Amino acid sequence: MGLKDSLKDSMILLVGATVVVLGCYSDLNKEVSLNVDGQEYKYNTFSKNVTEFLHNKKIDVNEWSKIDPPMDAEIKDDMKITIDNRFSINIKDGKKEKEYLVNQGTLENTLESCNISLGEKDILNKELDEHVKPDETIEIVRIVEKEEVALEDISYNVSSIKDSNLLKGNTKIVSKGQSGQKEVKYRVTYKDGTKILKEKLSENIIKEPIDEVVKIGTLEAETI
């Protein structure tokens, strides 16, 4: 056999080996779709099962993660794996209560993800830096302070004048009294929408009251 024939045979063997390797690679390398909390990802993997795949791709799951198919399922080409790391919690916000699906994290992060903001004086049953847990109920007591202005009447006084020309026991109004008016500013505190405290801050008299003047008879009736 000449050199030319030897080279030809070697090339045939090399091509054949390459085809075999590529065939094996194609059989072992599988395409997997991964959906994590609604986000879709595409991977190529040589992993044998779901557990190995998640480990190789450094994908974290936790004790309440819902994984489909199961962790021991064999990886197949065009396989779809779904992971839902979210869990349910209840948030009682004032007088309203609602269930939310959330990811693991602190209460502060959880409230932010649920688009719930806090007021300066609101009260929580849990610290903001504590982690939330599945099926937990978070309570928010809403404390709101408002400045409110009210117009209030000022009662008038009644002054009396003794009148010796008026029979005893009789009265006569000389001038009618008139109520005054004042503007009063209050700081009002509400707890979950219910008024719990009212503090007077200031008052301004708009109209002074006018006293009522009454004559009181002192004349003794004549006896016959």
User: CA-based angle 137:143:148, to the nearest 5?
Assistant: 155
Q: Which residue has the higher pLDDT, 6 or 131?
A: 131
Residue type, 207: K
Q: What is the pLDDT of residue 85?
A: 82
Class level of CATH domain 87-141: alpha beta
The answer, yes or no, to whether residue 17 has pLDDT greater than 60, is no
Level-2 CATH architecture, domain 3-84: Roll (3.10)
184-214 pLDDT, tens digit each:
999 999 999 999 999 999 999 999 999 999 9
CATH architecture assigned to 148-219: Single Sheet (2.20)
Identical topology for domains 3-84 and 87-141: yes
CB contact set of 188 (below 8 Å; sequence gap of 6+): 145, 146, 147, 148, 195, 197, 198, 199
pLDDT score for 220: 86
Say if residue 31's pLDDT is above 60: yes
Taking the domains of the chain in order of start, what are their residue ranges?
Answer: 3-84, 87-141, 148-219
| Residue found by looking up tokens 């070697």 in the block | 10
